[in-house]
Structure 1
Amino acid sequence: MKNILLLIGFVVVVAVTQAQFPKKILDKAKEKVDKKIDNATKGKEDKNNKEAKDTIDTPVTNTNQPASFKTYSKYDFIPGEKVIGFEDFSTGIIGDFPTGWNTDASAEIVTIEGKPGRWLWLTKRGIFTPEFPGPFPEDFTFEFDLLHGIPINGANFTVAIAELSNIDQPQYWANASNQFTVELSTANTGTEAGITRFLGRKKASSDVQNVSDAPNLNDKNNPVHISIWRQKERVRVYVNEQKIWDIPKASAKDAQFNSIVFSVVYAEEVVKHFIGNLRLAVGAPDTRNKMLTQKKWVTHGILFDVNSDKIKPESYGTLKEMANVLTEYSDLKVKIIGHTDADGNDDSNLDLSKRRAAAVKATLAKEFNVDESRMETDGKGESEPIDKNDTPAGKANNRRVEFIKQ
């Protein structure tokens, strides 16, 4: 059975070709791109200077404001317990296609003016897939950041989770026996609009429903954070802080998903797509049981800004999970311990881990009214790794917060 889950942002869903856009719109968009985007390959004539030169001045304006914990008050997403796939493009070369990826098109690693980290610029229409280890278990989460350059009505962007019969041929993902897809399409109006959600099954009727309070994907919210959570048949999808779907029967029971495929129907000069901070994690969280029986809960779901103790708001679901346990068991006391990867020097990492643990304690007290006297903190820096420090996924596993029952 083919299971298809479509998330459509804004107004329309169409297969786009250049002929469908009025020439006036195309010319105007191209002119805007030419004025605001530097050529990301301009440093290629001097490879030694790539890091300094290949920066895109993105047409996305820097009007996005930092999200607050208050806006995430209904966010219940909790990442899987072990990271098995992670990609922030930090190990690749600016201007090159990343290793560990497959495509029938082209893309390159870039930095973007005003946006932290590195991004993969999908420069041609086609499919792009990270070669994360599969098959994925029945419980997993997948997250990534998506940044649109110039949004054009109908320029759809799709991410598919599929069970491929041949993982070396991801271009045939649409024919996979089991799949679900999340499709985003932005409009050029700059106005608030709804998201339509569509759940279809092969040889079955369709269910279409409008979501009036769906997030706006215009510049002020760029980039957007997409989170997908599969628990057996159940699939939940989040865009930023909003849960767009929670569908009990979106996935086949026996589906053995093994591939993540990004599909771009229109790219190049009219619309720009950038993806970053990909994270695939497996295992269902079981906070209550582990705190009470194993006396320890290790989470990779509390995220921080790079080299900072500032907690990202998408950590809300994980923090709330711990707060619920502490609220339910009023005599429970915990020690919060921060851990880092091995990047940087030992002293800086030790200090950072201690500050991060203290930030978790402060947030649990402020946002969830947990008595501070029930929490103590410490940090171990990079001294107690649980995974290798020579791969992005291993480093992601080592960056963690532990709650120890006292």
Structure 2
Amino acid sequence: MSPAATEETTERVLVRAPWRTVTSREILVKITDRSFVLSTVLTTVMLIAAVALSAFLSARTSTYTVATAEEAVATVADTAAEAIEAGGDELELLAAGSAQEVRDAVGGGEADAGLVRTGEGYVLVGDDEIPGALQGAMTQAVRDAVLAENAAAAGSSLAELEAGSELAVQLLNEDSGQNVAAQVLGFVFAFLFYMAAIMFGMTIANSVLEEKQNRVVEILATAIPVRQLLYGKVLGNSILAFAQIALYAVVGLVAVNAAGLAQDIGWMVGASGWFIAFFAVGFLALAAVWAVLGSLASRAEDLQSNTGPIIVVIMAVLFVGLFATGPLLTAASFVPVMSSVAMPVRLLAGDVALWQPIVSLLLTGAAAYLMVRGGERIYQRAVMQGGTALSWRQALRLES
């Protein structure tokens, strides 16, 4: 293709979709900004380091306490000490007066597990989880003890020798382990949305204000429709925010899996995928508001004062993600923007019907569309006005 033809093609693209040029420029400026690149790399490294530290701490020597109520049962439990010590850990026995006291000791945190004997065999009692090493050692100890008892009773077959040697595992609070992980992941969702909304939002507002103060927007407006400037800025920064959050999500999940901190991360992947989708749509809605705030201001001091309401909204999203439960969390999961964190947090529990996140995402998408189109009306009027700060009502009264 000749240079003339290439230039003609480029001009045709600019005429048809000038927002693409603005979007590309916004992305290029940001990814060549040293502070942005360094902060992204630093956050990624810190995320990997946090996972590595958790893996290191979980691999440290542990002392397991096992509660028992009978001397014979304590003897069986004590035989597991050798297997526990072979793995670099230690085993301590806690004497209890009855099977119920054993369960109370486990539920109260005094013991990591309890070994009781019932008419059907041995039961290893745990609270929210039983460490794999402890469970394996106790299983083998019970098996050896039962085989010895059956052999002493002159069992004549392997089936008789192994009768009753299967160890039943009973967790008093089965879902607690996943619930703790869900709470941590919910905090991560809320914090990432808060940080991205503030950081990229201020970038959009400051960019609009700078172009307005330098009168660059007046030059650009002669070649590009003003609304296309808005679309490009909003879309460019939304893509960057989306890419950054996706990067953190992938790195975090891979690191957790590689470190062996989660045996089953399927539920995390599903919730994280929904969070990324909700984040993209929710941030798009906020980005339009940030751009409008930049166009209403005439100097940095104006911008600092008129961003108060949107920061309150973002703070509300953060607190809902951190502290809301029950009906309040359910209601918030259908409120546009707030649902960007509330619905993924609900999905971490795994008991949400599929139609709910779909409906919530559609509502957020509709709100984002309305906010972009409404923001477009104000942006076109306010961004060309200099000298004084404008209110939303004053901007709407201006001619476009």
Which interval holds the TM-score relative to the shorter structure?
Answer: under 0.3
TM-score, structure 1 normalization = 0.20
Q: Which one has the bigger strand percentage? A: 1
Q: Which one has the bigger helix percentage? A: 2
Higher Rg of the two aligned structures: 2
TM-score, structure 2 normalization = 0.21
